[in-house]
Amino acid sequence: MNCPKCGSDKVNVQTVSESELKTKHHSILYWLFIGWWWRPLLWFFLTIPMLLGSLFGHKKQKIVTKHKSIAVCQNCGNSWDIIK
């Protein structure tokens, strides 16, 4: 593998894992028009079922761990994702 930036073959491949919370991102328009009243409403209706759910020990794992490979050029320091 060669660096796309400088063409050097001194490329170090690293595997990194990323943990992220899987939440949907909304646009600013969503928050302006819907989010500010919809979310409290949603929380209100979800809090009671969630409390009941936690009492019965039902937990949802929402953290998603992704493994990806990145290549780092030892010559110029350029790094890029390797798509498998």
**Of the listed pieces 28-36, 39-47, 49-57, 66-74, which binds Zn ion according to CB under 5 A?**
66-74
Is 76 one of the binding residues for Zn ion (CB under 5 A)? yes
Binding Zn ion by CB under 5 A: which of 75, 80, 81, 82?
A: 75
The DSSP symbol for 58 reads -
Q: Kindly report the number of other CB atoms within 10 A of residue 75's CB atom.
A: 13
Is 70 one of the binding residues for Zn ion (CB under 5 A)? no
Is 5 one of the binding residues for Zn ion (CB under 5 A)? yes
Is 10 one of the binding residues for Zn ion (CB under 5 A)? no
Is 42 one of the binding residues for Zn ion (CB under 5 A)? no
Q: Are 8 and 76 in contact (CB under 8 A)?
A: yes
Is 11 one of the binding residues for Zn ion (CB under 5 A)? no
Q: Are 78 and 8 in contact (CB under 8 A)?
A: no
Tokens of 7: 């063409």
